[in-house]
Amino acid sequence: MIQSPASEKCPPKNALFKNDESADMQSLITLVLVLMPMFIGFAIPSNPTMTKLADKGLSYLVYVILTLIGIELAQVEGLGSQIGEIALYVTILSILTIGTGLFALMLFDRLRPWHAKKPSVKSKEHRVSIRGSLAQVFCVAIGFVIGYFLPADYMPPENTMTAMLMILILLVGIGLKGSGITLKEVLLNKRGVEMSVIFTLSVLVGGLIFALMFSDVSWTKGLALASGFGWYSLSAIIMTDAYGAVWGSVALFNDLVREFFALLFIPVFMRKYPSAAVGLGGATSLDFTLPIIQQSGGLKVVPLAISFGFIINIVSPVLMVLFSALG
């Protein structure tokens, strides 16, 4: 019996509702999986030893996650033919998300001036940080090579990335609690809160512009991709889960580009545009780019960076899961 095109493409109405309900439930589960470990991390009594172990474990876990992402990327059929397209997506998305956030915070600095301390010493840590970023890219490349030659029977289990995600968020929660920062202190830093709102909205505008430029990118996908805010290890997992390994790699490299750009240009913008300089790091302003922020702006700018980075670390996973759940 030959089915009509309508019967082939359009599932029964009840099935559509079931699919929507299933998608909503899956989105809720994902959101719980993302947020629950962070709350658990906050609830665990902190001490210097545990905080140090969490930080050390987090640094190793990031390399494991990046290697797993490389392995998954190697499983994408016809990836070679998509390299140019991926590079185009990453280039345009990076320009838009970094550019909109930078422009908005530079305007904020103009309208509401706030001067950070001029740096007194140039540090070698700037170059060390860049080498760290290159090491992260190297992990993805190593993972890709492993995934290319690894037999299918030896591939990581299906839920490995989800488990890694939960451990990652748990360690982040422990680290945030161990930093001694309270929610009250974060919210009382008025400029840090204002920066977070301006940065988030402006970067999301960049994501919307990106979606308008490509017919195969929905507005929700554009917003989801923009919501990584530099948190490459998390955005790569969530985007891979939502849209596949190709878009996961776009998210990964988009956020790595932000990190590279931040490490290079935070010192350039710090003197005249301190808010914009802090905002360049996005989610990494709380950890990875904090040393270069301190070196460039002095101790005065550190509370601002911590408040901003703390809020962005909370907002980023919520927005990524929310927007990716919408389509």
In degrees rounded to 5, what are phi and psi of residue 205? -60, -40
Mean pLDDT, rounded, of the chain: 80
Distance CA 64, CA 105 (A): 34
Determine how many CB atoms are found less than 10 A away from the CB of residue 85.
13
Q: Give the pLDDT confidence score for residue 233 in this predicted structure.
A: 80
Mean pLDDT of 276-290: 88
Q: Is the pLDDT of residue 192 over 60?
A: yes
HEC states along 263-313? HHHHHHHHCCCHHHHHHHCHHHHHCCCHHHHHHHHCHHHHHHHHHHHHHHH
Could you tell me which of 183, 232, 234 has the C-alpha nearest to residue 33? Answer: 234
Residue 169: predicted pLDDT: 76
Q: How confident is the model at residue 49 (pLDDT cuts 50, 70, 90)?
A: confident
Under DSSP, the state recorded for 152 is G
pLDDT of residue 284 exceeding 50: yes
| Tally: H helices and E strands in the chain | 14, 0
CA distance 290 to 306: 8
Q: Confidence band (pLDDT; 50, 70, 90) for 99?
A: very high
- The size of the chain, in residues, is 327
Domain extent listing, the chain: 50-326
Residue 309 has pLDDT above 50, yes or no: yes
In percent, the amount of the chain with pLDDT more than 90 equals 29
* Phi-psi region at 264: left, alpha or beta (left = phi > 0; alpha = psi -120 to 50): alpha
CA trace torsion 54, 143, 325, 98 (10° rounding): 80
| Residue whose structure tokens are 């702006």 | 297
Q: What is the pLDDT at residue 129?
A: 54
